[in-house]
């Protein structure tokens, strides 16, 4: 019997473990993760494979470090983006938690440099953004780079290994709940683990599993907005006036025709576009390395849409659009902006004649208008024109659009201000999978917070 069992070894789960071992060194703690140890994680595409093989457990998203492991580790040091923690606690408390987690990343070897702290640079870009009807969110960023990110996570794994039980390659299947109190869980491998407190932190990859479990146990959830869009890739020179000063710019726009919010997300100067696999569905993402540079910059454009009654399945909606892209292209689809506007598909020849070459070589040239609903597609086009005003060249005919990028944090678990589920005692739901956060630093902060709440409670 464990005092605390944590499901998921992403930042939310890891930081729960780090904090609980600090506050309660004598407690028995388990962290269970369906993927591999950090040093054993592999993604065939990263090893040179041309197409995503839809591995049973995606090496890019699962394993120690979670979805963050192969990300380039941009820690956005503000409560403004990357999650909803301010809905559960005062703004200052979130700021303090973020600083606290940032220091832990530093203790484990994170890079010292923080981008976006120069007020004059921010004011300059904000001025240009305002004239283009874009809102620039102030978000200082500590950039680790993929290689550094892996080293930091390895250091955390080394620190925790002698202090808690860590089980890899085992997938939690069923939560055990009795009289509205969590008891533990069973795994697909047929084992049962009992614990007084359970913290579920399965990330976006596990969001679908989590929502099914919660529906089964009648634990309440609300719809978050569904974020669907494309990954944009262009010559690094186009974004350089912004990325050289802010590294990442978080820009928000309300597209005029439908009024939906479109935002830039996860900007990767000199980075590469990557393919990820959510239980058989291929979606697109991006990252950059600290040392290895490509001539391109990529970022996501996500259109947020919140559904109202009677629709309750935002995750399925996102999956459906992504599967359409998969059906047409065999995986990821790429189209030049000019071809989209001309109403024709991109072809390998047209891409070859461009001034920019895709970094995701396995993407199939095609037509996004056959995949994205008109509402999202038009909002993306309008956003590209708005961005072109502050970074001329964004709306170039050569700009590449990859589909589909979708964020599966769309169902938010109803939790108390202590991140404990409403209705099931001692069960905490944190991180991206619970819809509470959507970035590394807030996911980490949610883990620290849950650990502090649990540490104040009684154990047998
Ligand atoms: C390519 C890429 C780049 C990114 N770049 C950035 C960035 O630069 N900055 C940023 O802030 N964010 C970035 N993100 C997002 C960031 O990685 C996530 O916000 C963060 O990892 C969420 O943390 P989490 O712990 O909630 O979930 P995750 O990191 O997704 O971890 C959840 C873990 O739970 C495990 N799991 C799921 N279900 C089960 C189960 N049933 N049983 C056992 N284990 C289970 C999974 O295998 C996974 O390892 C990026 C994401 C990707 C994919």
**Locus of tokens 């005003």:** 389
Same-domain check for residues 96 and 155: yes
User: Which helix (H) or strand (E) covers residue 115, if one does?
Assistant: strand 114-115
Q: Please choose, from the candidates 204, 363, 227, 371, the residue with its C-alpha nearest in 3D space to the C-alpha of residue 300.
A: 227
Q: First-to-last CA distance in the chain?
A: 10
Q: Are 81 and 267 in contact (CB under 8 A)?
A: no
Residues 334 and 195 in one domain: no
Please list the pLDDT of the chain residue by residue as tens digits (460 residues). Answer: 999 999 999 999 999 999 999 999 999 999 999 999 999 998 887 777 777 777 888 888 899 999 978 877 889 999 998 999 999 999 999 999 999 999 999 999 998 888 888 899 999 999 999 999 999 998 899 988 777 889 999 999 999 999 999 999 999 999 999 999 999 999 999 999 999 999 999 998 898 899 899 989 988 888 777 889 999 999 999 999 999 988 888 999 999 999 999 999 999 999 999 998 877 899 999 988 767 899 999 999 999 888 777 777 777 888 899 999 999 988 999 999 999 999 999 999 999 999 999 999 999 999 999 999 999 999 999 999 999 999 999 999 999 999 999 987 657 888 999 999 998 999 999 999 999 998 999 999 999 999 999 999 977 7
Question: Does residue 83 belong to any structural domain of this protein?
Answer: yes
Residue 157 domain boundaries: 2-114+140-222+411-455
131, part of any domain: no
323 and 403, same domain (yes or no): yes
Do both 402 and 426 map to the same domain?
Answer: no
**Which ligand 1 atom minimizes the distance to the CA of 13?**
25
Residue 428 lies in a domain: yes
Give a yes or no: residue 135 inside a domain: no
Place of tokens 């890891």: 14
Distance between CA atoms of 354 and 356, rounded to whole angstroms?
5
**Number of structural domains found in the chain:** 2
**Longest C-alpha distance within the chain, in Å?**
68
Tell me, using a 6 A CB cutoff, whether residue 319 lines ligand 1: no
Q: How many CB atoms are located within 10 Å of the residue 410 CB?
A: 28
- Does 177 share its domain with 245? no
CA distance 332 to 356: 18
Q: Verify whether ligand 1 is closer than 6 Å to residue 66 (CB atom).
A: yes
Between strands 272-278 and 261-268, the pairing is: unpaired
202 CA → ligand 1 middle, Å: 8
Kindly give the number of the ligand 1 atom that is closest to the alpha carbon of 70.
1
Residues 236 and 286 occupy one common structural domain: yes
Q: Is 319 in a helix, a strand, or coil?
A: helix
Q: Does the CB atom of residue 78 touch ligand 1 within 6 A?
A: no
Among residues 407, 429, 447, which one ends one of the domains? 407
Residue 199 corresponds to which tokens in the numbers above? 């913290």
Ligand 1 centroid to 206 CA: how many Å? 9
Same domain? 319 vs 330:
yes
Please tell me whether residues 339 and 439 are part of one structural domain: no
SS3 per-residue string spanning 176-235: EEECCEEEEEEECCCCEEEEEEEEECCCCCCHHHHHHHHHHCCCCEEECCEEEEEEEEEE
Phi/psi at 122 (5° precision): -60, -45
Q: Closest Cα to atom 17, ligand 1: which residue?
A: 68
Identify whether 132 is part of a domain. Answer: no
Q: Is residue 51 part of a domain?
A: yes
200 and 290 housed in the same domain: no
Structure tokens belonging to residue 104: 């832990």
Q: Which atom of ligand 1 is nearest to the CA of 432?
A: 26
Q: Report whether residue 140 contacts ligand 1, using a CB cutoff of 6 Å.
A: no
Q: Is 274 in the pocket of ligand 1 (CB under 6 A)?
A: yes
Task: Verify whether ligand 1 is closer than 6 Å to residue 201 (CB atom).
Answer: yes
Any ligand 1 atom below 6 A from CB of 116: no
Nearest atom within ligand 1 for CA of residue 204: 30
Q: Check if 435 has its Cβ closer than 6 Å to any atom of ligand 1.
A: no
Same domain, 243 and 186: no
SS3 303: strand
Residues 445, 328: one domain? no
Ligand 1 atom with least separation from CA of 447: 25
Atom 30 (ligand 1) nearest CA:
203
Type and span of the H or E element at 344: none
Q: Is 253 among the domain residues?
A: yes
* Residues 403 and 428 grouped into a single domain: no
| Cβ atoms 266, 76 nearer than 8 A | no
Does 133 fall in a domain?
Answer: no
Query: Which of the listed residues 71, 79, 193, 437 should we mutate to test ligand 1's pocket, taking the one with most ligand atoms within 8 A of CB?
Result: 71
């Amino acid at each position: 019997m464990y005092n605390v069992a944590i499901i998921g070894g992403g930042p939310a789960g890891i930081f729960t473990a780090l904090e609980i071992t600090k506050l309660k060194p004598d407690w028995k703690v388990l962290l269970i993760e369906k993927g591999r140890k950090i040093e054993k994680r592999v993604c065939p595409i990263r090893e040179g494979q041309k197409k995503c093989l839809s591995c049973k457990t995606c090496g890019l998203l699962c394993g120690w470090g979670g979805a963050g492991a192969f990300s380039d580790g941009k820690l956005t040091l503000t409560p403004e983006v990357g999650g909803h923690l301010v809905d559960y606690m005062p703004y200052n408390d979130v700021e303090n938690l973020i600083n606290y987690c940032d220091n832990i990343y530093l203790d484990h070897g994170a890079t010292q440099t923080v981008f976006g702290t120069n007020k004059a640079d921010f004011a300059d870009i904000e001025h240009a953004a305002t004239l283009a009807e874009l809102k620039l969110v102030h978000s200082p960023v500590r950039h680790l780079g993929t290689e550094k990110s892996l080293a930091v996570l390895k250091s955390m794994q080394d620190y925790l290994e002698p202090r808690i039980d860590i089980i890899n390659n085992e997938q939690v299947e069923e939560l055990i709940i009795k009289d509205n109190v969590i008891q533990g869980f069973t795994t697909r491998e047929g084992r049962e683990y009992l614990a007084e407190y359970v913290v579920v932190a399965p990330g976006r990859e596990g969001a679908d599993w989590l929502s099914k479990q919660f529906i089964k146990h009648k634990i309440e959830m609300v719809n978050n907005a569904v974020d669907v869009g494309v990954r944009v890739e262009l010559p690094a020179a186009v974004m350089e006036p912004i990325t050289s000063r802010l590294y990442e710019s978080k820009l928000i726009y309300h597209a005029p025709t439908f009024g939906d919010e479109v935002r830039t997300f996860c900007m990767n100067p000199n980075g590469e576009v990557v393919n990820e696999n959510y239980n058989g569905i291929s979606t697109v993402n991006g990252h950059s390395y600290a040392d290895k540079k490509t001539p391109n910059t990529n970022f996501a454009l996500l259109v947020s849409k919140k559904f109202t009654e009677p629709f309750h399945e935002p995750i399925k909606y996102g999956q459906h659009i992504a599967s359409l892209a998969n059906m047409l292209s065999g995986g990821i689809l790429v189209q030049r902006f000019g071809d989209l506007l001309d109403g024709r598909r991109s072809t390998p020849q047209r891409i070859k004649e461009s001034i920019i070459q895709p970094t995701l070589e396995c993407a199939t040239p095609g037509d996004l208008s056959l995949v994205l609903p008109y509402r999202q597609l038009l909002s993306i086009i309008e956003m590209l024109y708005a961005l072109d005003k502050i970074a001329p060249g964004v709306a170039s005919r050569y700009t590449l659009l990859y589909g589909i990028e979708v964020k599966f944090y769309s169902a938010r678990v109803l939790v108390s201000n202590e991140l404990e589920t409403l209705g099931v005692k001692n069960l905490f739901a944190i991180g991206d999978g619970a819809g509470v956060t959507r970035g590394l630093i807030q996911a980490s902060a949610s883990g620290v917070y849950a650990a502090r709440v649990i540490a104040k409670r009684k154990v047998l």
